[in-house]
Amino acid sequence: VSSYKISYATPTGTPKQAYNKNPNFKNLPGNLQMSRRIVDEDIVIGQRIKPMTREERRALQDRDYMEKLRLAQRREDYCQYEDPGFINHASQNSAAYIDEHHRFADNILDIERNRREEERLRRENYLRARGEAAMERSRRIAERVEAEEQEKQDHLNRLRERGNTKNLSGANFNLLTHEYNSGADGEQAAREDERARERAELRKRELAKRGGYGYNPLTGEYMNGL
């Protein structure tokens, strides 16, 4: 039976004509002699197509992908399309290629050790910076407190030098004894009065010089003491 081709249709004439044209029809078994669907032409079976995967079927549904694919496959006088491939992935023959083992660290323990060392250094630098900032802040506070204490001490010293001002006159000298006070205000008043007397003496001499050195033209007498 394997030497005969079985078909589901009779392309050459009716089943009876196909039965008459087959010279070996008489030698077939009885169960096949009653069939009218055995023909003498060979049946051409189409080439089997490999089933596509789900990703391939989805790619065929992508409009952009199909347009690019048609552009890449067209010929004749069109511009030829050259696929550059994965430009971000170097091939094994290129100088930029490196295997997956050497792309990263060879040992994961080295990576972890380096990470912990960086974390430790960062923590130490952070604590050192905080310590230095705290020391600088403490130094400024101590200097400010010391300056305030020194200012208070200087104020007390000035009060002691000036003495008690309770029940004292507001003048810088004693009206009864005509003596200046023993404090800083008395000394300042004495200096000011001395400068005033010096200016008065200079003015007196200047007026005498301009007035003829004490000569009185009305009486014809001279004034002594100039």
44-91 pLDDT per residue, tens: 555 677 888 998 888 888 998 888 888 888 877 767 777 777 777 788
Residue 117 lies in a domain: no
For range 144-155, the mean pLDDT: 95
Pair (98, 58) in one structural domain: yes
Supply the pLDDT for residue 111.
Answer: 83
User: Does residue 175 fall inside a structural domain?
Assistant: no
Q: What is the mean pLDDT of residues 204-213?
A: 77
Looking at the fold, whether 8 and 22 belong to one and the same domain comes out as yes
Q: Convert the pLDDT of each residue in 169-203 to its tens digit.
A: 777 878 788 888 777 788 888 999 999 999 999 99
Domain assignment of residue 110, yes or no: no
Contacts of residue 12, Cβ cutoff 8 Å, sequence gap at least 6: 18, 21, 39, 40, 41
* Domain limit, last residue, from 48, 71, 86: 48
Does the residue 98 lie in any domain? yes
Give the separation between CA 8 and CA 35, rounded to whole angstroms: 11
Structural domain of residue 68, as residue ranges? 54-102
Do 79 and 59 share a domain, yes or no?
yes
pTM of the model: 0.31
Please report which confidence band the pLDDT of residue 43 belongs to, taking 50, 70 and 90 as the band edges.
Answer: low
- Distance (Å, whole) CA 33 – CA 38: 9
The rounded distance, in Å, linking the Cα atoms of 167 and 179 is 17
Same domain, 1 and 25: yes
Lowest mean pLDDT among 6-20, 43-57, 160-174: 6-20
Of 30, 33, 41, the closest CA to residue 8 belongs to 41
12 within a domain of the structure (yes/no)? yes
**Rounded CA separation 37/17 (Å):** 11
- Same domain, yes or no, for 30 and 5? yes
Question: Are residue 60 and residue 96 in the same domain, yes or no?
Answer: yes
**190 and 215 assigned to the same domain:** yes
Type of residue numbered 80:
Q
Number of structural domains (the chain) is 3
96-139 pLDDT tens trace? 888 777 776 667 788 889 999 999 999 999 999 999 999 999 99
